[in-house]
Amino acid sequence: MRLVAGNWKMNGDRALARDLVSGLAAKAAETPPACALAVCPPAFLLDAVAAAASPAIALGAQDCSDEAGPGAFTGEISASQLAEAGCRYVIVGHSERRQRHGETSALVQAKAARVMEAGLVPIICVGETLETREAGDAQSFVTGQLRDSLPLELAAKASENGEGPALVVAYEPVWAIGTGRSATTDDIAEMHTALAELLGPLRARTPLLYGGSVKPGNAAEIFATAEVDGALVGGASLTLDAFWGIATAA
């Protein structure tokens, strides 16, 4: 089953959490979508989203600490605290954190490990800048990023047990995020095929999402692309009609 996850970033308030998520729950009850849905609001809205959601809507966080905690880590939230808040997913290594906060793949790997240790599913983000793509290095850069961000042993163990996604990988070209300029389906297919190869036996339990200017108008062709199992949606996850439009294309 495809996964469509909304990344609200630093957007939203209690009214949006209530209205958008209860609207989504109502639509999903009326016409169950063919995909799994997740909403990843800012941490202060996790409770509000959980209260408005239905079992059809999973809760996700946008980041977590690389420390298991509890402990003296001001401003951080641990993966186990996010589990208690009702999260199923935690985004790690989004390019906005890699770029603005200098997060390295080693740090992202540690965060993904904490997420899996807490019994949750990391959404590990990877993606190249325009400069890297124009230099012809996109594929080696992005596969290298995934190799270095993946807690391999834990991922292998998680893949052996249970059902559903053990981890999720989101390919998000930095130049396509929030720009209205999505990657071409050829570029997406090429990158996802390389990521699938790298995942090897983990691939069966690792949905590969595309992210970067996914909208209702381009979702169907993106979902029809080889090795694409869903989308990580930023801007278009902030309005009910747009997010639902993407979900119904899945």
Binding pattern to ligand PGA, positions 168-207, x when CB under 6 A?
Answer: ----x----xx-----------------------------
Our finding on whether 79 is near ligand PGA (CB under 6 A) is no
Residue 228: count other Cβ atoms within 10 Å of its Cβ: 21
Q: Identity (one letter) of the amino acid at 118?
A: A
Round to whole Å and give the CA distance between 223 and 231: 8
By CB under 6 A, name the one of 12, 93, 207, 212 that touches ligand PGA. Answer: 212
Q: Which of 103, 128, 172, 227 is catalytic?
A: 172
User: Which residue stretches of 65-213 are H helix?
Assistant: 79-84, 95-100, 105-117, 130-134, 138-149, 152-160, 185-199
Binding pattern to ligand PGA, positions 226-245, x when CB under 6 A?
Answer: ------xxxxx---------
**Nearest alpha-carbon partner for 243 in 220, 235, 49:** 235
Our finding on whether 41 is near ligand PGA (CB under 6 A) is no
Our finding on whether 115 is near ligand PGA (CB under 6 A) is no
Q: Which of 94, 96, 128, 192 is catalytic?
A: 94
CA-CA distances (angstroms) from residue 129 to 75, 133, 209, 215?
29, 6, 18, 21
185-199 and 138-149 are packed helices; what angle lies between their axes, rounded to 10 degrees? Answer: 40
User: What backbone phi and psi angles, to 5 degrees, belong to 7?
Assistant: -110, 105
192 is catalytic: no
Contacting ligand PGA within 144-173 (CB under 6 A): 172
Please count the residues of this chain forming the interface with ligand PGA, following the rule CB under 6 A.
Answer: 13
Report in angstroms how near the CB of residue 212 gets to ligand PGA at its nearest: 5
Report in angstroms how near the CB of residue 214 gets to ligand PGA at its nearest: 5
SS3 for 97?
Answer: helix
Which residue number is nearest to ligand PGA in terms of Cβ?
234
Report in angstroms how near the CB of residue 168 gets to ligand PGA at its nearest: 12
Q: Which is nearer to ligand PGA, 162 or 178 (CB)?
A: 178
Q: Which is nearer to ligand PGA, 211 or 230 (CB)?
A: 211
SS3 for 136?
Answer: coil
Pull the structure tokens for residue 192.
């996802």
Residues of this chain that bind ligand PGA (CB under 6 A): 7, 172, 177-178, 211-214, 232-236
Positions annotated as catalytic residues are 94, 172
